[in-house]
Amino acid sequence: MGIVVNKETQVIVQGITGTQGRFHTSRMLEYGTDIVAGITPGKGGSTLFNVPVYDTVAQAQQQHNADTSIIFVPARYAGDAAWEALEQGILTVIIITEHMPLRDTIELIAYAKHVNAQILGPNTAGIITPNECKIGIMPAHIFQQGNIGIVSRSGTLTYEVAASLTHQQLGQSTCLGIGGDPVIGLSFTDALA
């Protein structure tokens, strides 16, 4: 059984038209993740990989009912992007961006706790529930469905452990990166609970 995300998860990609957003959106879609919208200010009205692009999360949420957002925007804007998602009722926010300003991170995490939302990251590789949903930058081919959960600060170590387990025919339920920045949202204790 997976945690946090599954095949029913509906995702918004903030920063979808940037280099990293574009690349990883295509990989998430190939995996079968339900990406309902992308956000890039000034690009609203366009599409990318048949995903509609909006200028704001509010506009996207008027048309879709996303419950998760993944953020591929520069560090100085990542906090604002995460706030925008939380203020529009998105309760799982995955921040791929690293080196977010500490004050922004601390304020964001406090607000997320206040509204019962979950923050993965900053500086996370994301989360995967094998054969259901991948939201992040991890190489999907190394994961296999099973009952072993992996929680790590390091994306690379997550991949190594998952690959070793898969090689031994031991599948994973959910693998998630809590983030590598000095201050992060979801902790090891939160994930285990």
Joined together, the tokens standing for residue 170 give 């031991």
d(CA 38, CA 12): 5
| Residue ranges of the chain with per-residue pLDDT less than 70 | 1
* DSSP for 57-101, written as a single string: HHHHHHH----EEEE-S-HHHHHHHHHHHHHTT--EEEE------
Residue 1: what pLDDT? Answer: 65
Residue 95: what pLDDT? Answer: 98
d(CA 176, CA 3): 9
Joined together, the tokens standing for residue 52 give 């509609």
Q: Positive or negative CA dihedral for 137, 139, 141, 142?
A: negative
Residue 190 host element (H or E): helix 188-192
d(CA 162, CA 64): 33
Residue 3: what pLDDT? Answer: 85
Residue type, 115: V
Cut 0.85: pTM above it = yes
d(CA 40, CA 73): 9
Three-state DSSP class for 184? Answer: coil
- Could you give phi then psi for residue 182, rounded to 5 degrees? -60, -35
Residue 142: what pLDDT? Answer: 96
CA 35 to chain centroid, in Å, comes to: 11
